[in-house]
Amino acid sequence: MTSVHFYHNAKDPLGLVCELVGNAHRSGRKAVVVSPDTALAQQLDHRLWTADPGSFIPHVMNDSPLAAETPIIIALAGEKEWQHTDLLFNLATELPAACERFRMLIEIVGPGESERAPARARWRHYKQQQFPLKAFDAERRMAL
């Protein structure tokens, strides 16, 4: 069953995703990052190239012919087919499609009410589906 981790109060959601994706990659895990739109996906692409000058985080967009062999995929909200089923990072406000196929879903929630309100609805949905839930404060890096 998919376990769901919420990281609340992320002042820099892209920075947090880059850090967590980097950790996952170094551990040999594969991940999909869902972006709400193309502009944020492009910002994430750029940040993954520049996040840590001493390391390389191989990533491509979901529609790339190299997606099946690349450990990190950047997808857009609404896309339903991905090559990986290990980690799913959600930056979008809506429920990610087919999230139950993943071992773990990581929800990144910013500090604004426009991000918190949809996150509460997603939490309720996951709870109704009986997914194991955990919440963390993104800034203090501690369980809530």
Write out pLDDT tens, residues 28-58: 999 999 999 999 999 999 999 887 777 789 9
Superfamily for the 3-143 domain: DNA polymerase III subunit chi (3.40.50.10110)
In whole angstroms, give the CA distance from residue 35 to residue 14. Answer: 10
- C-alpha to C-alpha distances, 54 to 13, 26, 49, nearest whole angstrom: 21, 13, 10
The pLDDT score that the predictor gives to residue 45 is 95
Q: Is the pLDDT of residue 129 over 90?
A: yes
Residue ranges of domains in the chain: 3-143
Read off the pTM: 0.95
Token pair belonging to 137: 């404060």
The pLDDT score that the predictor gives to residue 51 is 74
What count of other Cβ atoms lies within 10 Å of the Cβ of residue 116? 13
> What is the Cα gyration radius of the chain?
14
Q: Would you give the distance in Å from CA 16 to the centre of its chain?
A: 9
